[in-house]
Structure formats: structure tokens, C-alpha cells
Structure 1
Amino acid sequence: MCGIGGIFDLKRERRINTEIIKEMTSEIRHRGPDATDFYNDGNIAFGFARLGIIDLAGGMQPLSNEDGSVLMVCNGEIFNYIELRNDLILQGHHFKTNTDVEVILHLYEEKGYEFINELNGQFAFAIFDFKRMLLICSRDHFGIAPLFYTISDDYFIFGSEIKAILRHPSVEAEVDLVGLDQVLTFPGLISPRTMFRNIRSLENGHLLLVEGIEKIKDIEYWDLDYPEIGEISYDKSEDYYKEQLSGLLEESVKLRLRSDVPIGLYLSGGLDSSLIAAITHKLTPDIRRETFSITFDEKEICESKYQNMMSNFIGSNHNNKFFVYSDISTRLPEVIYQCEMPLKESYNTASHALSKLVSDKGIKAVLSGEGADEFFAGYVGHKFDRIRSQLNNHAQAGMEEQLTQDKLWGDKYFFYEKNYWDFSAVKRRLYSKQLNEHYSAIDCINHYVIDREKIINRHTIHKRSYIDYKLRLVDHLISDHGDRMTYANSIEGRYPFLDKNIAEFSTLVPPNLKLNDFTEKYILKEVAKQFLPIEIVEREKFGFVAPGSTYLLKRNIEYINDMLSYDSIKKGGYFNPDTIENLKKEYSSDGFKLNMPFDSDLLIVVLTFNIFKEKFKINNFA
């Protein structure tokens, strides 16, 4: 993978300056430090920063088709490219390179943009069709590869990261207040919203057709589709589902091991990354892999016992990064700059340290275990749903909360993370007087959150799984926590659970094989028994929570004290300085402890927002 950027002059007046696309690309060289190249004819300009993974000698971009009528830049990997390439050659297509992404050009020639669902991979690409003067931008099924865009001064401007877009002279950095409210309210931002006003994030499973100023079309080409209640009958045996899932996992890992450079493995010590590591070892037993883990001093949170167990089990060269909490404050400004958004927790600092360990070892790509919890009912919320169902206490929420839940999910009794009506009062106390004057406009509950039609009349497990996939996985776990923290150190993350065949199969697995009584990820654990030590399979799920603002306040760090000072908060104009002062006293008092992740660490959002504001030179709110 790599970094891409581009500009399309919607007026078609050849106004694009080559130096601008070069500056945009320079901002994302951390995504592709191996080489850069550019194309500019005045109307369309592409920039490319390469991280060489496949076809190291010949895989440079931008890349054109045989007659030069179609040009492309792609940030990503097409894992099934060998099969697609062979079919295309049989149809008469000629390839210039051995790189995986060239299949995109020839598939487009053959089928138009409808080819996208044939791709199995992680990608964000832009294709320019010179004959039609058409720009096509697309983001993969799960949004693993980011793509941001804006329209300014009749230019369509896009990039792998927003910092590239901000280098265009017509674009200014301004806060999207609904985005800020999303960060406070949900696990994080929700595409197409970003923290920057007028800059959008292309949604996962979507493509854009850009032809002119008034001719831009957003098309959803894929999404998870859980069956409605009663739509299908689960009449197959448990063994059938186990065999199917096992085969799909092996095929997914096999595809993601395609590379011309060594592939490493993240090992958390939990079920998901351990299963990926074990399957990798089964498929490539003669290759001694590099594995990578974070360890901590505190025995109650350190998982080194299980990390070492798995390393010994697969015979890897294991690399530990001992993470000390004092590193949080040191790394936090850089992390926020790379994430391009405020955060609700500090754990990304550990992720950033881990990817640096991978980079220092000379590894360019790692397999990771994200996605299993969302697809196979791995979160504690599924257990709470079961308890509420057994107690029949769905109607405890007040009338206002029921109306809010119905507005969000199409189900007035469905609880997801918090009581949003009550939390609105918390937010209003947190916001400044100026923001409260616009509260109805910035309240994210009043804006698009999720397509309710995708969860209405679905089983409760499927309802929660879909919401977790959209609100937690796509724009948090594999975006700010995944992509941004790996690419900050020029590392590509690959996610075998985020294979569209596995995801689509998961929609057909009976709910009772996902949460079996109170055993989460039951079917996955049953599959794992053939690959893993039983100690790993039967471990209690471990959810690490990184130290937050309470820890940072007590360390008396100068820049943090300054950013949370009464005068700074008042001058910034976004938050109520009196509320912040009260929170600081509460959070720093003896014995105070937030019950994470169920409580909201309000001050870490305020702190990281102010870091974000400083890093991107954003004005105070007047």
C-alpha cells in the first residue's frame, strides 16, 4: 500500500499546478517512503508515494492501460490479483507490470466500474477515463484504505490523508462541529463526516463518479446485509458452519500472505491474532515469522504469558515493545496529527509504538486480528442484550430516551453504549455558551448516523453487529487505530477477518453459534480448537483500557496543563471553562477512577481536541 492524492479541474481549464500535487504528496511520504511519482496534464493530476510490497522493480504508479486512455493511482492490495490477472490475459489483455493493482485498469476496460465487487482486497483508488473525462474514486468493502475528498474553487481534491488535501492553497482547515459531537457521542467519527468542515471521508463500500461541477454521484456498491427475522432457516449442522468458516479463514490468510517482502504478525495474546498466527504457521511452516507485541509493567494487564506461548507454539522470532505510561504524553501530539482527529482514549500511543517496532525490524507488512468481534458477537454488549432479554427490562428507558433510540436504530428498546438523551445534557454542560447557541445544529443525533433499514427487523445479535461494524470497526479500529498508526511508521496492516467472503458468510451463521448461551464468538472458538493451545481458546476475553486523562493530570505535564487551563479553554471558545475546571478537580482527586469503557473520559476528548486544533492551526471559535 502507499499514499495517493489528486486534483481534478472541474472547469477543465488546465489550472492545476504541478508543484501543488508534489506538495500534497510530500505530506504523506510516511505512507510511501520508497519512491514518488506524478502525472499532471493541467486538468487531472495524480500523486503517488510508494511502499513497495509486490513487484518491487516494476510496480510504480500512476499506471495506465495499453493505449493510455485510462490512468490510475491505487493505495492498496488486491489479494486475488493472480486469479483475476489470469482471466484477463485469457481475454486478451496485456500487462505492463507484475504488480497486483494493474488488474484494476483492465477490469475497468472490460466491465466498467461494476468490476469492483470482483476485488478481494483493501484499496482506495482513483481512475481517470480520458475518453469520458470521468474520475472514479472508490474505497474498499471495509474502508481499510482511507480516501478523503473536498471540492474547493471548482477543484475536486482527494488524498489518502486530509493533511495532503490541506496543502492545496484553496483549502482551509476549519472544525466540523458535528464531527466533534460524533467523537464525544459514539466510538469515533462516522464517514462521510470528518473533523474538517467541507472535507468528507468516502464511505466503505462506496464509489464516486466525478464528471463536473454539478455531476458527482456517490454509489454504494457493497454492504453487509443481515437477513431479516424469518427470512432464512438455519437448517445446517454446527459442523457445516465450522468447516466453512475454517476453510474461509485459511483461504483469507493464504491470500494475505501474497507478498514480495516478508510478512510479520501482531500477537496480542488473545484469540483472534493467535488464530491468524496459527493459520499462517500451518500454511507456511518452513518460514520463521517475526511476531510483535506490546507488554506492560502491570501484571494484571500484561499479556506476555500468552504472547510468548503463541510465539513458542509457532516458532516465531518474537519482538516485544515494553510500553511505559510516561510515553503516552510524549507520543500523544504526533498520534493526534496522524489520526487527524481527537480521540476518546490514549491507546493509539501504544499502537504507534508497536508499529515503530515493526519498522525498526525492517518489516513492511503485518497481519492483524481486527474484525472477529464485530462479525462473531465478541463484545460484552451482546451479553448485556441477552441479560436484558431474560429480565424483560427493555422498557426501563424514559420516553425521551426511547424516542432517541428509535430515531437512531429504528427500535426504541435497543440500547447501544449509553442513554443518548441523558448524555446530551452532559455535552451541553461541556460545550461553551457559543456552541450551545447552535446545539441543535451540531448535535450528531440530528444528522445521519446509520441506515436504519439495515438493522430494522433483524435479530438483536445482528443488529448490534451491524452497528459495531459501521460505528466502531470502519472509522475507528481500522482507521485511526489501524491504518493511521501503522502508516505513521510506513507499515501496512492486513486483516484476514476483513475478507468479504468471511463477512458475508458471517451473516448466514445462526445467532446461537455466535453467542452460545453466554459464550461469545462460540463458532470461532470451536474452529480455533484445531489450531491453537486450549489455554488460548478458553481465555476470558481481555479488554485493555489505556490510562486516560486522570493519569495525565496527575503527572503535571506542562503542555497538558496549559491546554486544559481556564484561560486556554475560554480563549478557544469550544468548551465551558468552568465545567473543565470542575472535571479537572474531580478527575485528579484521590481515589477517582473512571469505569472504562462504560464511562466517557470527557477530558481526554477536550485535551486531544486542543492538540488537534494546535497541530492543524485551527482558529478559536468566535
Structure 2
Amino acid sequence: MCGITGIFMQDVQAGQHADIELLKRMTQSIVHRGPDDLGLYASEQACFGFRRLSFLDLKLGNQPIFNEDESIACVVNGEIFNYQELRNDLIKRGHRFRSQMDCEVIPHLYEEYGINFLNRLNGQFAIALHDVKQQKLILARDHVGIAPLYYHYKDNTLLFGSEIKTLLNSADVSRSIDLISLDQIVTFPGMVSPRTIFSDVKCLPPGHVMTVDKQGMQIEQYWDLDYPENNPNTQPHTDAYYVEKLDHLLRQAIKTRLHADVPVGFYLSGGLDSSLIATLAHDMDPQQVFNSFAIGFGRADIDERQYQQQVVNQIHSNHHEQIFDYEQINQRLTQAVIAAESPLKESYNTCSLALSQMVQQQGIKAVLTGEGADELFAGYVGYRLAQQSRGQEEPFDLEFMLEQQARKTLWGDENFFYEKNYHEFHTLKSSLYSADTNAALLRQHCTSQPIINPARIANRHPTHQRSYVDFKLRIADHLLADHGDRVTFANSVEARYPFLDIDLINFVRTIPPELMLKNGNEKYLLKQLATKTVPESIIRRKKFSFVAPGSPFLLKNKPEWIMDMLSRATITRQGIFNPDTVERLTNSAIRGAHDINQTFETDFLMVVITTGILLREFVES
């Protein structure tokens, strides 16, 4: 994967042309995503920029990419894992290729199938394609949202890029904060596309394609996670069938993601998912010595090095680790916000930056990681708690009626519980916001409007309902964005996700949900698969979320710059948060009166601190 930028003029008038100088500035701002090469494409109507991080065909694999007569031009941030079979089929159909690069199949697939070519891809990608003859621009993002794609559309001109900072090079793009997006960060696991923290910038949602031509802009969904409706008459296969099929697909996903002309490593968290990827990779190629990377902590309650080391000892990897402490978080927090282009609720993005820096220092450009398994296989504690609470009656009073109304608005189902009671939380978070922020959010806030497609959880099993919502609220715009793409590419490293392989996802959709969470045992089916390769102590250990110390830990030494960020003068000047509430939270954190349980509680002060960093770095400067 790399970085892409572009400018497209919807209707070119005589004497007009796309601004190539602006494009160059946009492209230069993401050189960290692709330090290996630069590519530019320019016509009167469109211009594209490309920064390359090279993996395949190191000599001939630069972009932009064209079809045979160059009537179709495209740039692609991504990897197409099934490119070999697609390429072979296209060659049989008469297409000619200029390189061995995976993404070269894109313009030829578009020639053959039009926009429907997206349904043939297995990969992680953000695509920009200029159809010169039709005077049309097509933007597309992969099924689950691994590759980012942001845009700004105004006065018949579209700007786009792999990161928000590309668009901020234009004077036409306002840096004003979208308060509803901030409210989403406080309320949900993260922001939900198409919103971003900047009101003038939008994010193309996962599984969507945008078309821009003389008639205007149109955005359509080409894929969604669609679980089957409840069917009590379904006769499932045996457990062994699902384990063997899952084993085959996961091994295939790992194999294709290890394919590159440069070394590929993997992260080790000490948990089931990364351990399974590492041990399967070793099982498939025992002679290969892989590089593994991990973070440890001085605090025993969150340190997982003993489990990481068990896997290292088994697969004999070349292991790299870094011990994280207060000073590491303090030093990297600003960089984490700049990379994320968003406020944060946790400090673990600083750990992720350290991980990708270790990868870069070892000369490795890509790593495999385990995101997606928790959402597909009922790995979070919320799945188990929801199962335990099914059938229990909730107190029927005015507060509960208002909560049911909130759930109905958000999910289309007044009985679906996700994470928290949102009516109660709305009252709590209102005390965090300033009077002006509350006044703005009174008109519209993040729980006053639908957040998902309610048809996708109607008549579905509760485990499937929660999985779908996790994909929409947790995966794409949080775990794969600020916690994934931004912190890896900040150090010129690409993350690859075997559990998010589209063939594997489509199979998991068919697995009976009872095999995901069985007798309160999270990830039951995945644990059955893991017995083949993963140490038993890791399989049997209690679910342990990857967390880093919260704001109380950060404030215990009262660093001057953070104290200034939380000062009454700064909070009042920024006008977003309530200075009285921030002062009380700050004093409580300094006294050590309360630690944050990040699994169940919101670290409000971390949001305040990182919002201040965002304002300082992107708005006030």
C-alpha cells in the first residue's frame, strides 16, 4: 500500500485545468506513506499523485497505471491478493500487461466489467480511476475499510487523498471542527464515516464507490456485511467441518499476505489472534525465520510478555520488543494525534507508533496483525455479557423509555443494547462540553440520528447483531484507521489483516453463531482451530484487551505541556469543553483518586488532551 492524491474537475470549461501545483503539495504531505517513489498523472480534467511503498516488481511497479490505449488511468493505494488469477483471466481475454505489479489488473478489470469489477477483488485498497472517454472519476474503498480515502467536494471540483492532511493543503478546505464527530468519539468506539473531525472533509465509507461526472456525484454501496436472518430450521455442519474450512481459509489469507518481494513480519500481542497468525505462518514454512514485534509494560497488570515469549520460543522468530513507560507515552502522544488526524480516547496509539518504528528500523515494510478476529468470532467481553443478560427484564420507567427511544433511533431496535445506555450517557457527557458545544449539539448530536443500516440487524441473531455494529463503529474508522493505517504508515510500514480477508469473512457469515460464543466461552470456534498450533496457556487465558495506561498515569508527573493543555485559560479559549469539569477531572487524576478501566469507562481527559493537541497542530497553527 502507498498514498494517493487527486483533483478532479467535474465539468472543464475552456482555459481551465486541474491545479497540478496544488496536487504536488498534497502528494508531498504524505511522503511518509511512500518514500520509495513518486508518480504523477495530469490531464485537463484530472490529476493524480502517488507515493510508493514498494512490495512487488520493485523496478517497474510505480504508478499511475493505464490500460493499453491509456484511456483509463488509475492510482491505487493497496494490495490485490487474488491478482494472479485475475491477471491470468484477463490475459486470456486479450489484455496486455507492462509489469508484474498486482494493482495493474485494475484498469483492465474496469474495461471488462465496469464498476462491477469491485466484486471480483480480494484485497485492501483505495482506488482512483479516470475514465478519459467518459470524462468520469471513480473512487472506491475496500470492503471493510483497511485503506483510507478522504475527499472534499465544492464548486464542481473534487479533492481526494489517503490522509486528511493532503486536503488541508487547499485554502478552500476549512479546518473547522465537526462537533458531531467529536461527540461520536466520546460516545462510540470512534468516529463513523463519512464524518471526520473536520467539517469540510468527508471519508468514503468502506464497501462504497463514488462516481463523479458532468451529472454530479453519486455514492453507492457495493458490499456490506450481511448476516443471514434467524432460521431455527437450519441444519449446521459438524464443528470439525467449520474448523477445517476455517483453517484452510486462514492459512490461505496468511499465505497471500506474506507474498512480497521484500520481508514481511508480524505483531505479537500475547493474545489468541496474533499468536494464531504467527504459529500458522511458521507451520506453513518451518524453515523461514520471521521477525516478530511486541510491546511490553512495566506494570504487571497490563504486561503480556510471558505469553509473547511462549510463541517466540515455539516458532524461533527473530523477536524485537520495547518496554513502554510514562515517558514513552508523553513523548509520542503529539505524534500519535498528528498521525491519526483525530482526537483519541486511549494512549495505545503511542505503543502502535513504537511498534511500527521497530519494524521500520529492521528494514521491514509490512506486518501481519490480528484485527478483525474479535469482531468476527465474538471476542469482546460484551458478547458474553449480552448472552448472560438475555431474557432479563429491565426496569420499566421513564429513564428506560427514553433509552429505548435512543436505541430505536440508533439501531432501529429498541431492545438492542450496545456498550452503554445512551440516554444516561448523554446527560453525563453534556457536563464535559461547554455551553456553546451543548447548544450546537442540542440541534443535532450523534445519538439523535441513525448510525447504521437497521435492516442489517433486523431478525438477526444477537451475536450477529453485535458483530455487524462492531464492524461499523469499531473496525473501519478506529482500529483500522487511527490505531492501524495511520500509525503504521507514519513509519512507512503497511499492516495486513488475514482475519479481514473477504473470502474468510464470507465463510464466517455462514457459521452458526452458537459456535462463536459457546457456554460463555468467547471465540469458541477459533480456539478449537488454535489447538493445532497455539500454546494451550494462551488459548485458555482470560480475554485480555490490549490497553495502555490512561490519563491518570500520564498526569501523575504533571508534565508542563499537558498541564498547560488542561489549564482553565486554554480550555476556555478553545471553547469546546467545560473548564470546571476539566479542572475537577484533572485534580482527581493527579490525586490518583480513580484509575480508568478502559474496557468499560471513557477516558474523558484523554479526549480533552488529544483534542487540544489536534487544535494546536491543525487549527491554531
Which bin holds the TM-score, normalised by the shorter protein?
over 0.9
The TM-score, its normalising length taken from structure 1, stands at 0.97
Equivalent runs, 1:62-211 vs 2, <5 Å: 62-211=64-213
Aligned match of 2:570: 568
Please state how far the C-alpha of 1:46 moved relative to its aligned partner: 0.2
Q: Counterpart in 2 of 1:338?
A: 339
| Aligned residue number for residue 45 of structure 1 | 47
Q: Which residue of 2 aligns with 1:488?
A: 490
The aligned counterpart of 2:303 is 302
Task: Find the aligned partners of 1:72 and 1:89 in 2 and give their Cα distance.
Answer: 19
- Partner of 2:431: helix, strand, or coil? helix
Q: What residue is the counterpart of 1:385 in the other structure?
A: 386
| Distance in 1, Cα, partners of 2:205 & 2:495 | 19
Which SS does the other structure have where 1:424 is aligned? helix
Q: Secondary structure at the match of 2:498?
A: coil
In structure 1, the residue matched to 2:10 is 10
Listed as ranges, the matches of 1:483-562 within 5 Å are 483-562=485-564
Residues 35 and 53 in structure 2, CA contact (< 8 A), matched pair in contact too: yes
Question: How far apart are the structure 2 equivalents of 1:597 and 1:148?
Answer: 30
Match of 1:435, SS state, is helix
Deviation at 1:341, TM superposition (A): 0.4
Contact 1:148 1:160 in 2 (8 A): yes
Deviation at 1:427, TM superposition (A): 2.2
Report the alpha carbon displacement of residue 15 of structure 1 after superposing the two structures with TM. Answer: 3.1
Q: For 1:436-467, what per-residue CA distance to the aligned partner results, in whole angstroms no more than 9, with x for missing partners?
A: 22222341112341111111111111111111
Task: Supply the AA of the counterpart residue of 2:216.
Answer: K
Pair 1:81–1:232, CA change in 2 (3 A): farther
Aligned to 1:426: 428
SS at match of 1:489: coil
Which 5+ residue runs of structure 1 have no aligned equivalent? none
Change beyond 3 A, Cα 1:172–1:618: farther
Which moved further from structure 2: 264-273 or 281-290? 281-290
**1:434: Cα distance to partner?**
1.4
Please give the alpha-carbon distance, in whole angstroms, between the structure 1 residues aligned to 2:355 and 2:3. 21
| Helix, strand or coil at the partner of 2:140 | strand
Residues 190, 474 of structure 2: 8 Å contact kept: yes
Summarize deviations over 1:540-575 as a string: whole Å, max 9, x none.
211233222212222211111111110111111111
**What's the secondary structure of 2:591's corresponding residue?**
coil
Counterpart of 2:276 in structure 1 is 275
Confirm or deny: 8 A CA contact 2:556 2:592 kept in the other structure: no
Please give the alpha-carbon distance, in whole angstroms, between the structure 2 residues aligned to 1:569 and 1:229: 50
CA distance in 2, matches of 1:46, 1:377: 41
Q: Secondary structure of 2:245's partner?
A: helix
Residues 27-60 of structure 1, C-alpha deviation per residue, up to 9 Å, x if partnerless? 0000001111211223200000000011111100
Task: Tell me the alpha carbon deviations over residues 379-411 of structure 1, each in whole angstroms, 9 at most, x when there is no partner.
Answer: 101111111115444868611111111211222
Q: Which AA in structure 1 matches 2:223?
A: W
Q: Deviations over 1:168-215 (max 9, x none)?
A: 232221111111110111001001110011211111000001113x51
For the residue of structure 1 that corresponds to 2:262, the secondary structure is coil
Q: For residues 108 and 232 of structure 2, what CA distance do their matches in structure 1 show?
A: 38
CA distance in 2, matches of 1:394, 1:315: 55
Structure 2 distance, partners of 1:374, 1:72, is 33
Deviation at 1:414, TM superposition (A): 2.0
Q: Cα distance 1:235–1:590, how it changes in 2: closer, same or farther (>3 A)?
A: closer
Give the 3-state SS of the residue equivalent to 1:437 in structure 2: helix
**Contact 2:173 2:201 (8 Å CA) reproduced:** no
Partner residue, 2:601: 599
Deviates more, 1:540-549 or 1:230-239: 230-239
Matched, 1:364 2:368: no
Aligned position for 1:315: 316
- Residue aligned with 1:128, SS: strand
Gaps of 5+ in 2: none
* Letter of the 1:186 counterpart: F
Are 2:413 and 2:454, in contact at CA under 8 Å, matched by a contact in 1?
no
Judge which range, 581-590 or 202-211, deviates more.
581-590
CA distance in 2, matches of 1:547, 1:295: 12
Between 1:280-289 and 1:60-69, the stretch displaced more is: 280-289
Report if aligned partners of 2:236, 2:512 keep a CA contact under 8 Å in 1.
no
Question: What letter matches 1:264 in structure 2?
Answer: G
Please give the alpha-carbon distance, in whole angstroms, between the structure 2 residues aligned to 1:553 and 1:402. Answer: 38
Superposition pairs of residues 458-477 of structure 1, within 5 angstroms = 458-477=460-479
Kept in 1: contact 2:547–2:598 (CA 8 A): yes
What SS is found at the alignment partner of 2:94?
Answer: coil
Distance in 2 separating the partners of 1:259 and 1:28: 23
Per-residue CA shift, 1:265-300, capped at 9, x if unaligned?
111111101111111112222211111111112223
Q: 1:129-161, CA deviations, whole angstroms, 9 ceiling, x for partnerless residues?
A: 000001000000110000000113431000000
- Counterpart of 2:530, as a letter, is A
State the Cα deviation string for residues 483-526 of structure 1 (Å, max 9, x = none).
11100000000000001111111111111100001100000000
TM-score by length of 2: 0.97
Structure 1 equivalent of residue 613 of structure 2: 611
2:174–2:200 contact (8 Å) kept in structure 1: no
Deviates more, 1:534-543 or 1:111-120: 534-543
State the number of aligned residues: 618
Amino acid of the residue matched to residue 7 of structure 1? I
C-alpha change, 1:232 and 1:204, in structure 2 (3 Å) is farther
Q: Give the CA deviation at 1:255.
A: 1.2
Please tell me the residue identity of whatever aligns with 1:455.
I
CA displacement, residues 112-132 of structure 1 (integer Å, 9 cap, x when unaligned):
110101110000010100000
Pairing 1:348–2:321 present? no
Residue 438 of structure 1 aligns to a residue in which SS? helix
Amino acid at match of 2:66: S
Give me the identity figure in percent: 48
Q: Partners in 1 of 2:225 and 2:235 — Cα distance?
A: 18
Q: Is the 8 A contact 1:388 1:394 kept in 2?
A: no
Secondary structure of 1:30's partner? helix
Question: Which residue of structure 1 lines up, in the alignment, with residue 291 of structure 2?
Answer: 290
Matches of 1:446 and 1:372, distance apart in 2: 30
Change (3 A) 1:544 1:265: closer
Preserved contact between residue 33 and residue 490 of structure 2 (Cα < 8 Å): yes
Give the deviation of 1:231 after TM superposition: 7.4
Query: Over aligned residue pairs, what C-alpha RMSD do you find?
Result: 1.5
- Letter of the 1:546 partner, please give it: A
Cα deviation code 1:70-95 (max 9, x no counterpart): 00000000011111111111111100
**What's the offset of the Cα at 1:539?**
1.9
Instruction: Tell me, in whole angstroms, the C-alpha distance in 2 between the residues paired with 1:2 and 1:492.
Output: 8
AA aligned opposite 2:162: S
Give the Cα separation in 1 of the matches to 2:44 and 2:517: 56
How many Å separate the matches in 1 of 2:473 and 2:272?
23
